[in-house]
Chains A and B, each alone.
Chain A
Amino acid sequence: MTFIQIADLRKEFEMHVVGGKRVVGLDDVSFDVHDGEFLAIVGESGSGKSSLLKCLYRTYDPSAGTIRFESEAGIVDLASCSEREMLSLRGDEIGYASQFLDEIPRVPAIDVVTRPLIEDGIESQVARDVARDLLTELSLPEELHDAYPATFSGGERQRVNLARAIAPRPRLLLLDEPTSALDPDTKAAAIDLLDRYLTDETTVVGVFHNRDVVSQVADRVVILDDARLRRIVDVETYVAETADEAQGAGA
């Protein structure tokens, strides 16, 4: 039932450029992620949301604590496993979509999405069809499928990025504000796609800003505040407690 067990996670940055100043990104964070759930991470800017996600993917090296991940081969501590073990988990089990697409220039959008599938051993025509379907579902205009994402708008790039991350249906999917640059209609399409394309085999941990998105996708919500875990609530509680904010924002 427990898929990831995070205990006493701490991340501190030492910034030599400003005289060795120490900045705390995460302070003593502990919680469990359940098998197959969609867990949203919310909090103000600078509360540690992206730091948490990056510690799970090891883009940040945690300063202390453990992240016990139930991999196919048994429990692995993502905070301390070897770099090669991490690379292999990234290849097979853990996917990540950053806010911004970071791809090699001059690779067409369709190939960006197709590649991870081919690397998973899926036959190239089948992989292309899946990629094309995903991009179409995210309403990326068909004439852009074979174009280079470098010239795309922020929203278009974000769609390519999201399609690439979900395409292989990883066991753990980490999403960092995957819909932040999308217009309301595309955002709705993206949420719908996450729901339909991903099965119970994929556990999602995602950082979100938008309350409406959280209410539609999440099972539980982790609330961070100033680098600390404030609490975890189920989505109904979160929606009820934040009803004022929604009205206040006029949304």
Chain B
Amino acid sequence: MSLLDAENVTRFYGDVEPCGRCVERTGAEHGRNRCPECGMVVGCADVTLSVESGEVLGIVGESGSGKSSLAEMLALDLAATDGTVAFDAYDGNFLDANYEERVDLQNEHVGMVHQHVGDGLNLEFTGGGNVAEALLAAGWRHFEDVRTRVRDLFEETEVPADRMDDPTSTYSGGMQRRVQIAKAIANDPELVILDEPTTGLDVSVQARVLDMFRRIQREQDVATIVVSHDLGVIRLLADRTVVMRHGRVVETGLTDRVMEDPRHEYTQTLINSVI
């Protein structure tokens, strides 16, 4: 069994009563997300994928392809409409975890780095305080232990440790991104989910953040799902890649295979559109 096995993960958006045929009337081959019958928006549907421990899976697609909905469901930040996910550290359907279990899973087993720089952080708190929060939530109690661990995580993610006690709002975008990553890996999760890891960062900072993450990923052998519209990010990080469009997976394969021998019409267009 893989670390994570997702089957038919589906998410609808809309206040309407679903007509029952929303999935078959939307998707890549219809070129739409909204069901023409009832008006339901199908964010993503029938997504099946798996992640092995230590593996990096890329999810690529344009805005509205459903990739962020999928990432948020797998990070337990968004309720799924349908689907089953088997996850190593959980008995039963991961998507059905109750509130308490979810908090526990998010603290200790699945680290999420949100798309917007600073998301998931309290900017009024110090950078160190933000990371410490994750440790405290996982049951760390001794002040000195927490302090030492936070300092190590700052070093690991290349944030100057002498800024630990400054408010996070005084950090640059790149530093805030690093603190998000430090927080996500603080409790040695089995899985990390990165949603658009370079968004909002200067080009010069993007490369260093990606390289830092890749080093940590390899050293700690942590499974990762990286969501991005940027093929460059996917190429550099992902072992295998899933291509999404209109809420569906249109192609899956080894990353270099998807990039150099794309089969689906949409993937071919995507690869040919890189500036």
Query: Measuring CB to CB, which residues of chain A are less than 8 angstroms from any residue of chain B?
Result: 13-17, 54, 57-61, 83-84, 86-87, 102, 104-107, 119
A-B contact pairs, 21 of them (CB 8 A): A13-B261, A15-B268, A16-B264, A16-B265, A16-B269, A17-B269, A54-B261, A58-B254, A59-B260, A59-B261, A60-B257, A61-B263, A83-B240, A83-B253, A83-B254, A86-B254, A87-B239, A104-B207, A104-B211, A105-B211, A119-B218
Q: Which residue of B lies closest to A102 (CB)?
A: B235
Query: Measuring CB to CB, which residues of chain B are less than 8 angstroms from any residue of chain A?
Result: 52, 55, 204, 207-208, 210-211, 214, 218, 235-236, 239-240, 253-254, 256-257, 260-261, 263-265, 268-269, 272
Q: How far is the CB of B215 from chain A (nearest CB, A)?
A: 9
Beyond A17-B265, A84-B55, 16 additional pairs, beta carbon < 8 A: A15-B268, A16-B264, A16-B268, A17-B268, A59-B254, A59-B256, A59-B257, A59-B260, A59-B261, A83-B240, A83-B254, A87-B55, A104-B211, A104-B236, A105-B207, A119-B218
Q: Which residue of A lies closest to B236 (CB)?
A: A104
Q: How far is the CB of A10 from chain B (nearest CB, A)?
A: 14
Task: Tell me the complex Cα distance, A13–B236, Å.
Answer: 25
Contact A61 B253 (CB under 8 A): yes
Q: How far is the CB of B121 from chain A (nearest CB, A)?
A: 25
Contact partner of A106 among B207, B256, B265, B269, CB < 8 A?
B207
Task: Tell me the complex Cα distance, A14–B264, Å.
Answer: 9
Given A54-B260, A58-B257, A59-B260: A104 in contact with B268 (beta carbons within 8 A):
no
Residues in chain A near residue B263, CB distance under 8 A: 14, 61
Q: Which residue of B lies closest to A60 (CB)?
A: B261
Contact A61 B261 (CB under 8 A): yes
Main secondary structure of the interface of A (DSSP, over half): mixed
Task: Tell me the complex Cα distance, A15–B263, Å.
Answer: 8
Residues in chain B near residue A104, CB distance under 8 A: 207, 210-211, 214, 236
Residues in chain B near residue A107, CB distance under 8 A: 211
Task: Tell me the complex Cα distance, A14–B267, Å.
Answer: 12
Residue from A14, A58, A106 having most chain B Cβ neighbours under 10 A: A106
Task: Tell me the complex Cα distance, A88–B216, Å.
Answer: 19
Residues in chain A near residue B236, CB distance under 8 A: 104
Residues in chain B near residue A15, CB distance under 8 A: 268
Contact B254 A87 (CB under 8 A): yes
Q: How far is the CB of A229 from chain B (nearest CB, A)?
A: 21
Q: Which residue of B lies closest to A103 (CB)?
A: B236
Task: Tell me the complex Cα distance, A17–B269, Å.
Answer: 7
Residues in chain B near residue A17, CB distance under 8 A: 265, 268-269, 272
Q: How far is the CB of A48 from chain B (nearest CB, A)?
A: 14
Q: How far is the CB of A212 from chain B (nearest CB, A)?
A: 29
Residues in chain B near residue A102, CB distance under 8 A: 235
Task: Tell me the complex Cα distance, A84–B263, Å.
Answer: 19
Q: How far is the CB of A61 from chain B (nearest CB, A)?
A: 6
Q: Which residue of A lies closest to B218 (CB)?
A: A119
Q: How far is the CB of A81 from chain B (nearest CB, A)?
A: 11
Residues in chain B near residue A13, CB distance under 8 A: 261
Residues in chain B near residue A57, CB distance under 8 A: 256
Nearest 6 CB-CB pairs, A to B? A16-B265, A105-B207, A106-B207, A60-B261, A59-B256, A104-B236
Contact B214 A84 (CB under 8 A): no
Task: Tell me the complex Cα distance, A107–B236, Å.
Answer: 12
Q: How far is the CB of A21 from chain B (nearest CB, A)?
A: 12
Q: Which residue of B lies closest to A84 (CB)?
A: B52
Q: Which residue of B lies closest to A115 (CB)?
A: B218
Residues in chain A near residue B268, CB distance under 8 A: 15-17
Task: Tell me the complex Cα distance, A37–B149, Å.
Answer: 51
Contact A106 B211 (CB under 8 A): yes
Task: Tell me the complex Cα distance, A182–B55, Å.
Answer: 36
Task: Tell me the complex Cα distance, A75–B254, Å.
Answer: 21
Residues in chain A near residue B52, CB distance under 8 A: 84
Task: Tell me the complex Cα distance, A245–B214, Å.
Answer: 48
Q: How far is the CB of B77 from chain A (nearest CB, A)?
A: 28
Residue from A17, A57, A84, A104 having most chain B Cβ neighbours under 10 A: A104
Task: Tell me the complex Cα distance, A105–B210, Å.
Answer: 9
Q: How far is the CB of B117 from chain A (nearest CB, A)?
A: 19
Q: How far is the CB of A33 from chain B (nearest CB, A)?
A: 22
